[in-house]
């Protein structure tokens, strides 16, 4: 009870902030309405989404010099390797709208140029970022700094990349290369991070917002604390983040094994995993929320589809809008509504809705309707074998995920990271 009372002022503050943004910003209103329609479609089990799609990730390239032990690409990616044609990239961006890329009122129209490759090696690096900016999008890149060159660092600054998440999985050569392979030398990575930060400060620029991230795993557990403290106070670096480990679609035994070992020593990872399982009780929200696009133009349901296992359409032949309510995605939604998750991509997945949460966090009317008992989706558990006692309400399981966890300095609510 006391907890509920404590959260009331915070909820009220959040509500009034959102209302203010909605009143003064037409783009925020459009985003709100679009997200509301998507939530409504999900909560009312509609196979046709009333809202417009968000493109959650765009894979500009799936080339990558690293061999990371926690990445499905290393073990099982068999699809061709290549770069997205710049014409196709432009066409895709032109079909998108900034409002559809905003998750909440006051949010940013963000495009994530990442998937299963290293974005800094994309042939049309600068051109792609410039095009996103021309169309009103902000750009986020996730990259391993060991691959940066002086030329790319300059381009990142010249084009004004809005945000870079630099992955630092070890604080020395031995740890870093054990996790990401021989190309991931630590000394080079640190020199590049310092160079980018230094040039950013020299230019007096606020972008890119530079966050260093370490994905927790047993191999780097002895360096979590060092990582958290080492970068403090360096001008130009905006934050550090110890990220939870992901098992992606859950189909790769080596990746799952690392998670099992990690959970034994890290309670926060174990809690995160338990939360994932609770979330997985509900039909995955991704097919109503967003899609991901690979370098070859294939559209897949989410960022776990490393091998184009569940292709929903091809942007070389169809528009984003045709794919969004096309027969393949409707088929997937229908299966989820019926509590079936037996397709080749989703059958082992324990990360349903993970980065995006379930509806009801920011859009009061949809969650109100659901709480009144009109919603249908939350009544359908779809992941067998999970303890009934671990059920939670969808409201409790909303949110979470990538943006909220990734950049502590910009978020209101942070989960404490137990080291
Ligand atoms: S169930 Fe898992 S693999 Fe399937 S769409 Fe959802 S997040 Fe992606």
| β-pairing verdict for 298-300 and 313-314 | antiparallel
Q: From the CA of 281, how far away is ligand 1's center (Å)?
A: 12
Q: From the CA of 199, how far away is ligand 1's center (Å)?
A: 40
Question: For the chain, what is the mean pLDDT?
Answer: 87
pTM of this structure? 0.87
Atom of ligand 1 nearest to the CA of 352: 7
**Mean pLDDT, residues 310-337:** 97
Q: From the CA of 51, how far away is ligand 1's center (Å)?
A: 19
Ligand 1 proximal residues by C-beta, below 6 Å: 249, 284, 286, 301-302, 304, 341, 345-346, 349, 351-352
Locate 194 and state its tokens: 């310092």
Question: CB of 172 within 8 A of CB of 146?
Answer: no
pLDDT at 39 over 70: yes
2-6, 162-166, 397-401: least confidently modelled range: 397-401
Q: Tell me the C-alpha distance between 343 and 337, whole Å.
A: 14
**Mean pLDDT, residues 191-218:** 97
Edge-first strand listing for the sheet containing 54-58: 54-58, 290-293, 298-300, 313-314
| β-pairing verdict for 138-143 and 313-314 | unpaired
Q: From the CA of 305, how far away is ligand 1's center (Å)?
A: 8
Q: Tell me the C-alpha distance between 378 and 44, whole Å.
A: 9
Q: DSSP of 90-150, one letter per residue?
A: HHHHHH--GGGG-SSTT---EEE--SSS-GGG-TTHHHHHHHHHHTT-EEEEEE-GGG--H
Tell me, what's the pLDDT at 105?
A: 76
Pocket test for ligand 1, best of 281, 283, 290, 349 (most atoms within 8 A of CB): 349
Residue nearest to atom 7 of ligand 1 (CA): 352
**Mean pLDDT, residues 43-70:** 96
**Mean pLDDT, residues 342-346:** 96
Tell me, what's the pLDDT at 384?
A: 37
Tell me, what's the pLDDT at 361?
A: 55
Residue nearest to atom 3 of ligand 1 (CA): 346
Q: What is the pLDDT of residues 25-38, one digit of tens each?
A: 999 999 999 999 99
Pocket test for ligand 1, best of 328, 352, 354, 383 (most atoms within 8 A of CB): 352
Tell me, what's the pLDDT at 418?
A: 30
Pocket test for ligand 1, best of 312, 351, 380 (most atoms within 8 A of CB): 351
Q: From the CA of 6, how far away is ligand 1's center (Å)?
A: 35
Q: From the CA of 403, how far away is ligand 1's center (Å)?
A: 18
225-234, 322-331, 382-391: least confidently modelled range: 382-391
Tell me, what's the pLDDT at 380?
A: 45
Per-residue confidence band for 358, with pLDDT thresholds at 50, 70 and 90: confident
Locate 115 and state its tokens: 């998937």
Q: From the CA of 335, how far away is ligand 1's center (Å)?
A: 12
Q: From the CA of 354, how far away is ligand 1's center (Å)?
A: 9
Atom of ligand 1 nearest to the CA of 302: 8
**Mean pLDDT, residues 253-257:** 97
Residue nearest to atom 8 of ligand 1 (CA): 302
Q: How far is CA 58 from CA 30, 54, 141, 218, 244, in A?
A: 22, 11, 10, 30, 22
Atom of ligand 1 nearest to the CA of 280: 1
Per-residue confidence band for 12, with pLDDT thresholds at 50, 70 and 90: confident
Q: What is the pLDDT of residues 216-232, one digit of tens each?
A: 999 999 999 999 999 99
160-169, 228-237, 372-381: least confidently modelled range: 372-381
Residue nearest to atom 4 of ligand 1 (CA): 346
Which residue, chain included where needed, has tokens 């084009």? 159
Q: DSSP of 159-190, one letter per residue?
A: HT-SEEEEE---SSHHHHHHHH-TT--HHHHH
**Mean pLDDT, residues 292-308:** 97
Q: From the CA of 286, how far away is ligand 1's center (Å)?
A: 7
pLDDT at 370 over 80: no
Tell me, what's the pLDDT at 407?
A: 30
């Amino acid at each position: 009870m006391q907890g509920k009372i404590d959260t009331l002022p915070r909820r009220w503050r959040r509500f009034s902030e959102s209302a203010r943004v909605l009143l003064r910003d037409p783009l925020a209103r459009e985003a709100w309405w679009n997200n509301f329609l998507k939530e409504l479609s999900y909560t009312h089990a509609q196979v046709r989404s009333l809202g417009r799609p968000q493109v959650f990730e765009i894979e500009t390239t799936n080339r990558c010099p690293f061999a990371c032990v926690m990445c499905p690409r290393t073990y099982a990616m068999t699809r061709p390797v290549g770069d997205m044609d710049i014409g196709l990239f432009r066409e895709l961006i032109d079909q998108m709208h900034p409002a559809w890329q905003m998750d909440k009122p006051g949010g940013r129209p963000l495009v994530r140029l990442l998937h299963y490759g290293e974005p800094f090696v994309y042939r049309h690096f600068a051109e792609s970022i410039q095009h996103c900016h021309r169309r009103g999008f902000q750009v986020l890149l996730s990259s391993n700094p060991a691959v940066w060159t002086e030329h790319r660092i300059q381009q990142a600054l010249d084009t004004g990349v809005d945000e870079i998440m630099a992955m630092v999985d070890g604080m020395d050569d031995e740890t870093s290369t054990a996790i990401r392979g021989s190309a991931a030398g630590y000394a080079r990575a640190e020199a590049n991070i310092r160079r980018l930060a230094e040039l950013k400060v020299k230019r007096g620029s606020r972008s890119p917002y530079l966050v260093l991230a370490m994905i927790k795993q047993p191999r780097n557990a002895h360096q979590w604390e060092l990582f958290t403290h080492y970068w403090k106070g360096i001008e130009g670096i905006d934050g550090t983040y110890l990220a939870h480990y992901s098992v992606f679609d859950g189909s790769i035994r080596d990746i799952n094994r690392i998670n099992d070992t990690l959970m034994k020593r890290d309670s926060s990872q174990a809690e995160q995993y338990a939360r994932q399982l609770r979330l997985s009780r509900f039909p995955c929200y991704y097919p109503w929320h967003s899609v991901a696009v690979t370098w070859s133009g294939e559209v897949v349901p989410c960022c776990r589809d490393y091998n184009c296992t569940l292709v929903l359409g091809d942007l070389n032949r169809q528009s984003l809008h045709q794919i969004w309510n096309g027969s393949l995605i409707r088929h997937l939604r229908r299966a989820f509504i019926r509590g079936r998750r037996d397709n080749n991509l989703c059958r082992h997945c324990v990360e349903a809705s993970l980065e995006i949460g379930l509806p009801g966090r920011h859009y009061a009317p949809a969650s109100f309707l659901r709480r009144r008992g009109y919603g249908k989706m939350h009544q359908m558990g779809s992941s067998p074998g999970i303890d009934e006692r671990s059920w939670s309400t969808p409201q409790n399981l909303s949110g979470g995920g990538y943006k909220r966890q990734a950049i502590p300095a910009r978020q209101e609510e942070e989960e404490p990271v137990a080291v």
